[in-house]
């Protein structure tokens, strides 16, 4: 009996000692240069960023300090409307949600763009569109009351057109997520944002859900993107991107992403699109956790979308995919692919456009190797290239 009690005391002492040592270990790490280091191939390890760079061969890793791993105060999930709650008037929706809506100003040496966003946690995490902040040098968030704060990008995703940014402030009013799967044709909705810039910020427009499960194709030099979206008749314009689409309870059920514009041939009105909240929520969680959405293979090239069979024949060049730019963090760059190369075959299959590459990538995973046939200045080259996680190509 006595020996059993002694064993229990020893086990408790040992457990306490382990907890203390682990706490001391974290304190030492936080006071040192050691961090979680993500390499260009997606590998994450514990080490010193400068030494890790030397070991890897000069490519800059992305360092995530242990003390600064982003964690929102509120869970990212969709919440069903309270069945006992009555629908709100548009005036009530505005009063409930407007304090959570932000203006976002993205500024470079050459241009300035504006968009919208909304607060997802009291400590400054904000959701917006990737295209609002992509390539932006300095990002500023203007809150509902006009105060401004510098922001940093926590994570972004080209495919879903989502981004999470962070400002260093507390006490904000988080928006409430709704269940986009419950939305039906004809449901009343509202949008709040900043059409055409900050001069018209905090604008609310109303409409209905015109369509659900709409597939639209966004042209992109890195590969056309098919997005499944909600269609709305709410008036949305440049500057509304990233703002919330709200149900009759003042819950966000969509993130405004795009609208179809008119042309010289036809006039278009009332065709706005939003990313469903149920689609966005798990992706936002990944952006906060990883900085990117995992499981998306990429070659790391940007292509010349104007290059086609006619252009190739006119210049006596082979049909294929002409490369405009190669991301230096990609294996494509490491293996020698360069701008102006023309990829004519992938794994023996002839390719003539970025859609062919996208179709091949959808059947592969990051780390899989593609066998490329490449035309360069009159020579045919054979280059093996590994696909990488798209999120590391920043």
pLDDT by residue (tens digit) across 270-318? 678 999 999 999 999 999 988 888 888 889 998 898 899 999 999 999 9
Task: Return the active site residues.
Answer: 131, 161, 241
Residue 141 is assigned to a structural domain of this protein: no
Residue 362 is assigned to a structural domain of this protein: yes
Residue 381 is assigned to a structural domain of this protein: yes
The CATH code of the domain that includes 346 is 2.30.42.10
Residues 377 and 324 in one domain: yes
Which of 245, 276, 307 is the last residue before a domain boundary?
276
SS (H, E, C) the chain: CHHHHHHHHHHHHHHHHHHHHHHHHHHHHHCCCCEEEECCCCCEEEECHHHHHHHHCCCCCEEECHHHCCCCCCCCCCCCCCCCCCCCCHHHHHHHHHHHEEEEEEECCCCEEEEEEEECCCCCEEEECHHHHCCCCEEEEECCCCCEEEEEEEEEECCCCEEEEEECCCCCCCCCECCHHHCCCCCEEEEEECCCCHHHCCEEEEEEEEEEEEEEEECCCCCCEEEEEEEECCCCCCCCCCCEEECCCCCEEEEEEEECCCCCCCCCCCCEEEEEHHHHHHHHHHHHHHCCCCCCEECCEEECCCCCHHHHHHCCCCCCEEEEEECCCCHHHHCCCCCCCEEEEECCEECCCHHHHHHHHCCCCCCCEEEEEEEECCEEEEEEEECEEHHHCC
Query: Cβ of 132: how many Cβ atoms within 10 Å?
Result: 25
Residue 119 is assigned to a structural domain of this protein: no
Predicted local distance difference test score (pLDDT) of residue 107: 85
Predicted local distance difference test score (pLDDT) of residue 199: 87
- 161 Rama sector, left if φ>0, alpha if ψ -120 to 50, beta otherwise: left
Residue 245 is assigned to a structural domain of this protein: yes
Residues 311 and 264 in one domain: no
The CATH code of the domain that includes 238 is 2.40.10.10
Per-residue pLDDT of the chain (394 residues; tens, 9 = 90+): 444 445 444 555 555 555 455 445 445 444 444 343 333 333 334 344 444 444 434 434 333 333 344 445 555 666 666 656 789 999 999 999 999 999 999 987 777 889 999 999 999 999 999 989 987 679 999 999 999 999 999 999 888 899 999 999 999 999 999 999 999 999 999 999 999 888 898 999 999 999 998 887 776 655 567 788 999 999 888 889 999 999 999 999 999 987 555 444 555 566 789 999 999 999 999 999 888 888 888 899 988 988 999 999 999 999 999 999 999 999 999 999 999 999 999 999 999 887 788 888 878 888 999 999 999 999 999 999 999 988 777 6
Residues 308 and 387 in one domain: yes
Residue 377 is assigned to a structural domain of this protein: yes
* 323: Cα separation from own chain's centroid: 24
Give the total number of structural domains in the chain: 3
Residues 240 and 310 in one domain: no
Predicted local distance difference test score (pLDDT) of residue 127: 96
CA distance linking residue 367 with residue 331, whole number of Å: 10
Which of 50, 68, 86 is the last residue before a domain boundary?
68
Residues 257 and 313 in one domain: no
What's the predicted TM-score (pTM) here?
0.69
CA distance linking residue 240 with residue 244, whole number of Å: 9
Residue 204 is assigned to a structural domain of this protein: yes
Which of 68, 96, 113 is the last residue before a domain boundary?
68
* Residues spanned by the domain of 28: 2-68
Residues 269 and 228 in one domain: yes
Predicted local distance difference test score (pLDDT) of residue 359: 82
Residue 28 is assigned to a structural domain of this protein: yes
Residues 339 and 382 in one domain: yes
Of the candidates 243, 261, 260, the one whose C-alpha atom is nearest the C-alpha of residue 252 is 243
């Amino acid at each position: 009996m006595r020996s059993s009690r002694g064993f229990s005391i020893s086990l408790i002492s040992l457990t306490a000692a382990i907890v203390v040592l682990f706490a001391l270990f974290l304190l030492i790490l936080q006071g040192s240069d050691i961090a979680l280091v993500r390499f260009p191939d997606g590998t994450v390890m514990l080490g010193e960023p400068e030494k890790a760079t030397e070991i890897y061969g000069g490519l800059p890793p992305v360092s995530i300090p242990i003390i600064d791993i982003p964690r929102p105060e509120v869970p990212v999930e969709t919440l069903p409307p309270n069945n006992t709650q009555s629908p709100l008037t548009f005036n009530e929706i505005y009063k409930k949600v407007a304090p959570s809506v932000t203006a976002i100003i993205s500024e470079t040496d050459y241009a300035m763009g504006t968009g919208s966003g909304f607060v997802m946690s009291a400590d400054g995490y904000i959701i917006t569109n990737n295209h609002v902040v992509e390539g932006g040098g300095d990002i500023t968030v203007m809150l509902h009351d006009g105060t401004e704060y510098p922001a940093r990008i926590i994570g972004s995703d080209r495919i879903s057109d989502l981004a999470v940014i962070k400002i260093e402030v507390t006490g904000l009013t988080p928006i409430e997520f709704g269940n986009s799967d419950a939305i039906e044709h004809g449901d009343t909705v509202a949008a709040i944002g900043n059409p055409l810039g900050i001069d018209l910020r905090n604008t609310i427009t109303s409409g209905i859900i015109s369509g659900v499960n709409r597939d639209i194709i966004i042209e992109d030099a890195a590969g056309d993107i098919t997005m499944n979206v909600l269609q709305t008749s709410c008036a949305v314009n440049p500057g509304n991107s990233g703002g919330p689409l709200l149900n009759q309870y003042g819950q966000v059920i969509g993130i405004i992403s795009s609208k179809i514009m008119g042309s010289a041939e036809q006039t278009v009105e009332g065709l706005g699109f939003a990313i469903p909240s149920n689609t966005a929520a798990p992706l936002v969680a990944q952006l906060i956790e990883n900085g990117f959405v995992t499981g998306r293979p990429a070659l790391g090239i940007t292509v010349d979308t104007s290059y086609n069979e006619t252009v190739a024949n006119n210049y006596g060049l082979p049909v294929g995919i002409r490369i405009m730019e190669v991301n230096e963090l990609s294996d494509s760059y490491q293996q020698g692919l360069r701008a102006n190369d023309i990829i004519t075959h992938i794994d023996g299959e002839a390719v003539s456009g970025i859609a062919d590459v996208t179709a091949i990538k959808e059947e592969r995973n990051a780390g899989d190797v593609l066998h490329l046939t490449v035309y360069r200045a009159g020579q045919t080259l054979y280059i093996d290239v590994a696909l990488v996680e798209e999120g590391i190509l920043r």
